[in-house]
Structure 1
Amino acid sequence: MSKKKGIIIAAVVLVLLGGGGYGIKTALSNVQLTNATYIAGRVAVKDLSDYVNVSGSVASSESISVTAAVDQKITQLNVKIGDAVKAGDVLCVFDDTALRESYNRLMQTEEKSQGAEDYQHNLRLRALDDARNERDAAVNKAQETLNDAVAARNSVYDAYNSATAQYEALNSRITDPDHIPEEIAEQLTELAARINQLGEQMRKADEAVSDASYARNEAAKRGDQGVRAAQDALDAEAYAADDGSVESQIKKLSEQLDSCTVKAPADGVVTQLMVSEGSIPMSPSLMEIEDTSSLIIRGKVSEADVLKVSEGMNCEIKTVATGEEIIPGKLTRIERILNSSDPTAAGGYNVEISIDSKESNLLIGMSANVKIILDRADHVLCVPYDAIRGGENDGYFVYVAVPQGDGNSKVEKRVIEKGFEGDYFTEIASGELKEDEIVLSRRNTWATITEGQTISDSLLNVPDDESQDAEA
């Protein structure tokens, strides 16, 4: 922090002065350095705080898992990751052809219940055949893509090796490095550029092969899962309980038909998709929706700071998107354990900060910087920390540059008592100081400052309010 920087510089200068003896001290106190100015600050009235910094990101306080126990193909997918949805919006539609046919048959007559069972069996056989065919087609297509990627990579490697060989052959013809023929120099430059370009193409080609290989394996994996699901559905017939009630089957089919149209259970944003149009879900989980009406900041508090904070502390939130606007929040949760399996555990303890405003305009995923307020003192008279001199034993004081009206200021010593200590400013609990008075910094290590000393106003380096706040 800026506090420590000033103290370290002052310490180094004091060591140098001590090593140089009394003569150097005297010289520095009596000689004005060329173009040197006195670092100063102003007495101000400010709101001070002591806080712990947390970096995190905007997230939802509630995540909803959308599920459906339907082993049919998705014929319509209406959302993508990042889409905002309202409760009741149709998210996706399953193929209900087989279910509706079965339902209609059962509705026509109860006597055909056995036929419906046979029909369901045939549907499952067909579904198994379809799953196998789709797996083989997907794997073959992915293998073709992989073969093309390997061929393209080999072509780039051959071109790279050829260009490298040409470059080395030309380079070997140079007998005098200081007098390279212009024609050879131009060819070498062109070949070097070509080699660099091919090197980048090689990297991309390697990535393409890796991606294609992964895609091929994933296609095989998904295909096997689809075949297994279809086979399980067929095998389950042997264990299905026959209650002999066509009515119950009709009710069950009606529920399954309703499940074929999946609707959003609440308002929010789609943050994960586990399915795609044309696929058969491998599990009941279809997608995740995060509620955008209740946002939080998720971040980490370091081990050094975690014992300083507690639930209920007020927070100040800033983001790049909202600039200098301070969004109020509150520390609502501290995860008081480090998960050794979490790769980010070294970053500290997980915390959650609620966002008080429902109109913050923040979006899920935005980066945020949060100040967890440990303590604060509002509207207090204060000075920059580095203007305070002395110590606990002898008391504290500041040097004030009092304007004399003739272009000079006279140094006055003012005894003070410290109050609340913020990050850069320190409260003046008592002492004869007034707002906007100029106080001299301890960082003026090039010269000794004494009470009664006269300083030209032109040498006082006093920052304006914005600069002084920025330094804080």
Structure 2
Amino acid sequence: MNRKMLRVTALLCSVCLLSAGCGKKSDSSSLKKVNVAELSEKDLSETLELGGTVESTEKDSTVMTDLTNLKVTKLYVSVGDSVKAGDILCELDSSEIEKNIANLEKNISDSSTLYDYKYQQLQKELENTRKSGQLDIDEANKKLEDARNSYNSEQNSYNENRARYESLTNEANDLQNQALNAGDEVQAKVLMEQYKLKMGEVAAAMSAYETANSKMQSLKETIAMYEKAVESAKISAKSQADSAQYNIDTYSLTNSSDTDNKNRLEELKKDLEKTKVRATGAGVIATIPAEEGKVCRDGILMTLQNASNVCVHVSIDEKDLLSVKSGMKAVVTIPARKDDEYSGVVDRVLDIKSANGFDGYINIDDPTNFRIGMKATVVITTLDAENTLAVTKKSVFSDRKDDDSENEDDKKFYVYEAEKQSDNTYKLRKVEVTKGNENNTYVEISGEGLEKGDYIVSMPGRCKEDDIVDVKVTGKNRNDTDEEKGENDDE
């Protein structure tokens, strides 16, 4: 064997011995080094700061008058004044109304005496007519009642005589049968004489009940006649009462000038009351178009805002519109209490753009210190994601290549978790994760077995599952910029 072959053989043996030694224990100096970061809770919340103005939650209440021909004689309030329901806001010129009221009251007084006398006479006629009609009805009812009583009496007589007739008939039949079956002629003759006498009684009873029946039929006709008489009396009484009432109504209509004056007087008194314009509810005076000494042709005197319920009106830029939703939390500050923060919530965002942007309204939990017209600063939490387990976006990867035509929802995402081994090395575990909230740097993740404090590979591009690696923990006691810088340097 030549010397060259011996050197090759020795080299191969050395390689085999070295490989066998590595199988027992890894040399950290020869392992791939990767940067990892602890899986930790981060605040991924996002906010939007806006300027706004304190306004009433309700639309402005317009104070109007329909007395547009009257001048405003006195204004009792100024813009910014707080008023309560019932407070007098202004007065209109009432002199012409008061003059018309005095004239009408005199006319009504002069005509009321005669009118009232005639009216009372007609009322008396109506009462007398009603009394007379009731008397006729009562008389007809009395005759009807007497006829019904007579009928009942004759019916009793009929029933009694009918029963007597049937009883006597039975007795007569018995005598006749006895006579026919008598044992001797003398006895038969005596029984026949008794039979004849009994038949006389039968005839008298029959005559009595037939007479009662005839009277009953006659009384039925009488009762029917009196029932019609009662109805006729009622109709007549109602007709006469209606006629008397018609006379009253006709008189009232034909002498309606006095009634018209009274109605006009009531209207003028209402107008007089309206010359003192009062607040219908509590609020703050927002505008006063009315002027003393002038009429309000359009009827608008002033406007009020409800100060008991206020909100902050903000204008949202078009680029931020879709990030602001109803129900989002907000923090409000005002110059008057600059060190205090007030919690609130987004009530609504209008879909129509105004001159300054899209209008949004923030309800305040405690509006005690807020006044209409104040300036306010609003910080809206557009993404509420505190204490979220998150990693840098670069730590998450997909097995598929990015493709604009691929549906993002169909992709599966993964991270590499570095699991510590018994020899202080780390083995990479590929974990499928679900992504949640994210910002420019971090993304929320969740996956099987992942928990706070796990080591997640920061730059997974050079790694594969089950790699044995040496880790360098980054991000401890550093800010995000330093962490990213360390990763890039290592890379």
Scaled to the shorter chain, the TM-score interval is 0.3 to 0.5
More helix by share: 2
TM-score by length of 1: 0.45
